[in-house]
Structure 1
Amino acid sequence: MSDKLPTSQLAPEETSSSTSYKSRLIARFVLEHNPHLLDGSQRNVQRKSGKLQPPVMLSMQGPQGAGKSTLAASLQALLQDQPYGLNVAVVSLDDFYLTHQGLVDLADEHPENKLLHGRGQPGTHDVPLLKNTLRAISHINDSDNDLSTTTTTSSRTVNLPVFDKSLFNGQGDRAPLSIQIEGPLDIFILEGWSLGFRPLPPATLESYHAQPSPIPPPSRPPPYKMHDHPLAAIIQINANLRTISQEVYPFFPLHVVIRPRSYDYVYAWRLEQERQMKALNGGRGMEDEEVRRFVDRYMPAYEVWGNEALRAGLEAEEGEEAGGREVLELVFDEERRVVQS
């Protein structure tokens, strides 16, 4: 069935920064590991019999401004279109933030940890809600079969939360509305900026944080934003990340990583996004310096848990593996061109 897979070659009108090219690379990765999705006639038989396989669960990680939301939407459209005709749902990890009151309470509980003063970092998400939603999604293809008829109806729908970032003067809150998806579902995609980061041993964090110029260095120039926060704050985020990795990651056997050559690109990427948005909405949005401060809040996580050289060293030393996941890594240059996959 290799002839049915999306091509990994550039089309004449494309460059390696084209969203269409990147979405084909990811689609090929997904379909190579799930060849049953290429057999439309078999899927139709399964739907009629009510014996569908569970949806393929794919997680996608990429920093702010990398274009992961646009890429996820393009991937969804590609897989839903012919010749594949798959049912695909895309959800953002952002929609699983705590309620506004939950975020306020969290900040009050950790007055010295500025990383938890506002949404974003691991620990600011409603992990029980996320886990329950993922469990429901994984069973969305379960069906009630009425043996007296030829009709099979899905036994499940799943309501997905929506987080409205415009509420409370930009602090955000969970919206009263929700988005409902219905089975059968072929592929479910969850995308988020920190999704896939894994916790580090506390001793490693302590040694790494203590060095003015850590070895191995983060993939960005100094000064390092992790040094703006005490070690205790970093260890708390690490503990929160451990909870997410234990409760959420096992749902996803496939994972896509969008990795910039340097995380310093994120400042320019996020600023570009903000300026584009303001050009379309009459100038509403953050000023340039506000964008920089916004990205500053995320940079410690990129410097610590996004440091692949540090992680690779631990894996070599401890024999740690990626938890049984199949991983596709797309390395971007500053122009968001794929320079390695």
Structure 2
Amino acid sequence: MTAWVADHVEDRTVVLGLNGAQGTGKSTLARLLQQLLERIHGLRAAIVSLDDIYLSGADRLQRANTIHPLLATRGVPGTHDVDLGIRVLRCLREGRPIALPRFDKAKDERHPAAKWPLWEGRCDVVLFEGWCVGARPQRSDELEAPVNGLERLEDPTGDWRYYVNRELGGHYQALFAELDLLVMLRPPDFDRVYAWREEQEARLRATSSGPEVMSPSAVRRFVMHFERLTLFMWEEMPGRADAIVYLGENHAPIQVDLGDERRDV
């Protein structure tokens, strides 16, 4: 895949979106691509994560109090600072110095801006990773029926999912318009998303007892926030993604589609 990415770099910065559900390995793939692009192709690659442009806890609480309580939980469209994301991507593309935002998930807050790492000099590739990077909104009629217990019990009138969908169809499309390439990581099914996210949390539970660590039931509830859009992306995105990496039950890639080219792994 690194050669495929490098082939798209000519005399401009390429912004590559990495889309994948929770636990699919987006961050790991981004770091690997960054290292290989530099080592093999001599290209400088910056990593930008959708997770690092969350709104502050206070801003999300304000939305939870005025729009819907579920907006207190970070993750869905409507809980990010989209303007910040656009500014970061454009600065990297234009070769201007920019401090790359960082978010502290343990504290549920951004790191102080003074601690953000500064990127200077050329940037050949921007690896922009996130669970809904490149997503498009659903039709309004597709939002009517709840897809899981969270929507049925905590969003019975649909206010939350309609708001999230409107946000996705609005300013988020300007953010995703910055992409030159879109790569999708596709797990076998949604049960794997639950399982892989729980594996991540189990590793945290083994080393920490802090309040940020979730129980298995809390993990299941958390992942439900993303189920609707994840299932829709699996249906809609493959027809326009530039590459699809299909993952097996054991998390390893089993097939990679690069445009018209299909490779078994």
- TM bucket, shorter chain: 0.7 to 0.9
Change (3 A) 1:201 1:287: closer
* 1:291-316 CA-partner distances (Å, limit 9, x unpaired): 2222222223323x3340xx38xx9x
> C-alpha distance in 2, partners of 1:199/1:61?
15
The residue that corresponds to 2:216 in the other structure is: 288
The residue that corresponds to 1:119 in the other structure is: 74
- Give the Å deviation of 1:127: 1.0
Matches for 1:102-251 after TM superposition, within 5 Å:
102-110=59-67, 113-140=68-95, 156-167=96-107, 172-176=108-112, 177-206=115-144, 209=145, 226-228=151-153, 229=155, 230-251=157-178
- Give the Å deviation of 1:108: 1.2
Q: Is residue 97 of structure 1 aligned with residue 33 of structure 2?
A: no
Q: Secondary structure at the match of 1:256?
A: strand
Change (3 A) 1:114 1:28: farther
> C-alpha distance in 1, partners of 2:170/2:117?
26
* 1:194-222 CA-partner distances (Å, limit 9, x unpaired): 1122112223434xx27xxxxxxxxxxx8
Q: Is there any run of 5+ residues in structure 2 with no aligned partner, and where?
A: 257-265
Counterpart residue identity of residue 78, structure 2:
G
Give the count of matched residue pairs.
Answer: 250
Decide whether the 8 Å contact of 1:122 with 1:244 is kept in 2: no
Q: Which residue among 9, 19, 24 is the counterpart of 1:66?
A: 24
Q: Secondary structure at the match of 1:264?
A: helix
- Give the Å deviation of 1:88: 1.0
Moved over 6 A (4+): none
- Give the Å deviation of 1:327: 1.4
Q: Is residue 331 of structure 1 aligned with residue 246 of structure 2?
A: yes
- Give the Å deviation of 1:106: 1.2
TM-score, length basis structure 2: 0.85
Decide whether the 8 Å contact of 1:224 with 1:300 is kept in 2: no
Q: Is there any run of 5+ residues in structure 1 with no aligned partner, and where?
A: 1-24, 37-52, 141-155, 211-221, 316-320
Q: Secondary structure at the match of 1:248?
A: helix
Decide whether the 8 Å contact of 2:181 with 2:242 is kept in 1: yes
CA RMSD of aligned residues (A): 2.3
* 1:82-137 CA-partner distances (Å, limit 9, x unpaired): x3121111121111001121111111121xx3431221110000111111222212
Rg comparison, structure with higher value: 1
Decide whether the 8 Å contact of 1:225 with 1:300 is kept in 2: no
Matches for 1:291-302 after TM superposition, within 5 Å:
291-302=219-230
> Comparing both chains, which one has the higher relative contact order based on Cα–Cα distances under 8 Å and sequence gaps of 6 or more?
2
The residue that corresponds to 2:261 in the other structure is: none
Change (3 A) 1:159 1:262: same
